[in-house]
């Protein structure tokens, strides 16, 4: 009896490079700076798109951390959409392009990232449930990722001293 099992080829392993969390953080920081984006925004988009799963493929064929479609990846000159660093570069470049196109209007740029520029008309997020939910989700993640670490926040109910040392108000 002969048993055959699939074996990963060199080309398979080359196409699906796996990066450490630290490598991903570095790539996010680098491309955020390169494309004048807040790193927290890139992290929020990645969280919403792929939940940081490097090789995830959507039902619609979008690939990787930033969920680039093959056509979008080709337009952005991403040679290997499964390479997470290239994927982040392409997604960051696309976000910068969309923010420029919509004069910095983040909800419109996010809607176009999700649904396509052809669906964002009249300066409004399109009436597509999935797109509206996506925009809300990314903005929520962005606020969470942009918030100061918990240790730096004031604890609830703490009395803040007034100008003359007396208690002036309570933080709720």
| Backbone torsions φ then ψ of 63, nearest 5 degrees | -125, 140
Collect all residues with Cβ–Cβ distance below 8 Å to 80 and sequence separation of at least 6: 14, 15, 17, 86
Considering the candidates 49, 86, 130, 154, report the single residue annotated as catalytic: 49
Residue 16 CA to residue 35 CA, distance in Å, equals 25
Instruction: Kindly list the distances between the CA atom of residue 164 and the CA atoms of 145, 155, 160, 168, in Å, as whole numbers in the listed order.
Output: 36, 22, 11, 9
Element housing 144 (H / E): helix 129-146
8-state DSSP, 158? P
Please indicate whether residue 49 is annotated as part of the active site: yes
Question: What amino acid positions are annotated as catalytic residues?
Answer: 49
């Amino acid at each position: 009896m002969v048993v055959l099992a699939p074996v990963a080829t060199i080309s398979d392993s080359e196409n699906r490079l796996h990066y450490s969390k630290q490598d991903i953080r570095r790539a996010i920081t680098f491309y955020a700076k390169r494309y004048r984006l807040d790193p927290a925004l890139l992290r929020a988009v990645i969280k919403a798109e792929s939940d940081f799963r490097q090789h995830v493929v959507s039902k619609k064929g979008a690939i990787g951390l930033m969920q680039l479609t093959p056509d979008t990846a080709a337009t952005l000159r991403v040679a290997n959409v499964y390479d997470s660093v290239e994927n982040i570069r392409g997604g960051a470049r696309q976000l910068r392009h969309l923010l420029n196109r919509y004069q910095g209007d983040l909800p419109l740029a996010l809607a176009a990232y999700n649904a396509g520029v052809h669906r964002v008309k009249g300066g409004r997020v399109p009436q597509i449930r999935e797109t509206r939910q996506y925009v809300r989700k990314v903005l929520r993640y962005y606020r969470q990722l942009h918030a100061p670490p918990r240790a730096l926040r004031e604890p609830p109910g703490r009395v803040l001293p007034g100008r003359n040392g007396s208690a002036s108000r309570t933080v709720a």
